[in-house]
A and B are shown apart, each in its own frame.
Chain A
Amino acid sequence: MNVTIVDYNSGNISSVINSFKEVAKNRVNIEVTSDLSKIKSSDKVVLPGQGSFKSCVDALNNISGLVDTLNEFAINNKKPLLGICVGLQMFADVGYEETETKGLGWIPGKVSKIDNQNGKYKLPHIGWNQINIVKDSKIFKDIENNSHMYFVHSYEFIPEDKNVISATTDYSSNIICSVEKENVFGTQFHPEKSDKIGLKIIDNFINL
């Protein structure tokens, strides 16, 4: 099996690579590439993302044909794709970080700044927070409710259809931190930095 981590200059993806390789050992081949044919032929795709919504969308668009290839992979061919952090946020129609920017539009909704209640809550939301699992997501197999995950973000994805939400976390408000829509999965938190329990989520994705 081939799992491809999309390398589209979206910032630091070393930790994502290290964690997938740790989990995959020798049983699964982990590719790190922006090569369109390799993405097309892979079994699963991971879409990481760091920095701003806009910078990630721009970086995707800078690689000719990449968005079309991802659309074909996830939407037409319905193969499993995991978005992490801004990788998840880009599933939305639109994001409002820096400036209004069009997303991939895979899950209707928007990405806006977390309400910090007039400075009462620090942003970014950095650190370990518990997830409240609201739907049996395949990537949460053997993950206990209220497990701690590592977060670092200032923006949140708000999907229109609440049925896609698989977990939330409690900060200044109830933040949506994981989604599942058919073959498309996303986590706002960083499984690659969430210790053994995070690696289990990666393992679950690889084993889908």
Chain B
Amino acid sequence: MLKNRIIPCLDVKNGRIVKGINFVDLKDAGDPVEQAKIYSDGGADEICFLDITASNENRNTIYNVVEKTSKKCFVPLTVGGGVRSVEDINKLLNCGADKVSINTAAVQNPEVVVESSKKFGSQCIVVAIDAKKNGDKWEIFTHGGRNNAGADAIEFAKKMEDFGAGELLVTSMDRDGTQVGYDIELMSKISSKVNIPVIASGGVGNLDHLVDGIKLGNASAVLAASIFHYGKHSVKEAKEYLDSKGIPVRI
């Protein structure tokens, strides 16, 4: 039976881990390579790096981090943030990333998704959707949550599936950093609309939120940052808790 995945996410800036609250107010929480190794040794099903301010800054630090991590961690590594072109994807994959997540470029130039999924295979193309509720719908944002692209998140999700995305990483911007739980409605709407796996992100504050993301949000995988790297819970604890709630996990 396929297991639900737990994915610790490390937001990386200039080669260091940070975690913002609602995408701002960054705190330094350590070395990404070392932390990734701790997570994979602790049973993380996958590791995710998001180079959060990469859209505006020098990106070379992330290549270095990915290269070092991929020589130490032998679980899948997803890297996103500031990925603009097929060449950027190629570079990250060559550094040892297994999947690349595309956010802004997927909105502004969806051909990147078509082209890269053809060139490298859908299995390594993750489209990251940052969505914010507006009335009874969700709008997508780009540039690390700074620009409102206006498009409907659920329709966009479907379009990305059609364009060749292998997975969707859906972040609720309303919830990100708040620790009040995933936007379950958003997750379940997108998950029922597409036939590719959805990774829920944004807002985890306790282990029940992970359970809800899977049981209520129908996510295939749950991503969380702060509950893991501020030491509130270990990945192992999270898995044991999910297991106790009847969710299939790899233990």
Contacts and interface: CB of A to CB of B under 8 A. Distances in A.
A129 B2 contact: yes
B5 A127 contact: yes
Interface in B1-44: 1-5, 40
B93 A124 contact: no
B70 A18 contact: yes
Interface stretch (B49-57, B94-102, B144-152, B225-233): B94-102
A65 interface: no
B244 to A, nearest CB: 18
A69 interface: no
Interface string A189-205: 00011111011000000
Interface residues of B, number: 34
Contacts of A52: 121
B197 A124 contact: yes
A112 interface: no
A14 to B, nearest CB: 4
Interface in B136-155: none
A14 B93 contact: yes
B129 interface: no
A126 B167 contact: yes
B110 interface: no
Interface size range on A against B: 35 or more
A167 to B, nearest CB: 15
Contacts of B75: 150, 193-195
Q: Secondary structure of the B side of the interface?
A: loop
Interface string B112-128: 00000011111110000
A109 B201 CA distance: 41
B124 A11 contact: yes
B250 interface: yes
A75 interface: no
A19 interface: yes
B121 A15 contact: no
A148 interface: yes
A193 B3 contact: no
Contact of B124 (A12, A119, A192, A194): A12
A11 B220 contact: no
A127 B123 CA distance: 11
Contacts of B45: 127-128
Closest 5 CB pairs of A and B: A51-B121, A12-B93, A128-B250, A152-B123, A14-B96
11 contacts: A11-B121, A12-B124, A14-B96, A18-B71, A124-B123, A126-B167, A127-B2, A128-B250, A148-B250, A150-B76, A192-B74
Given A124-B166, A127-B4, 20 more contacts: A12-B93, A12-B94, A12-B98, A18-B71, A22-B71, A50-B124, A123-B196, A124-B122, A124-B167, A126-B166, A126-B197, A127-B2, A128-B2, A129-B3, A130-B1, A150-B76, A170-B1, A193-B98, A195-B40, A195-B74
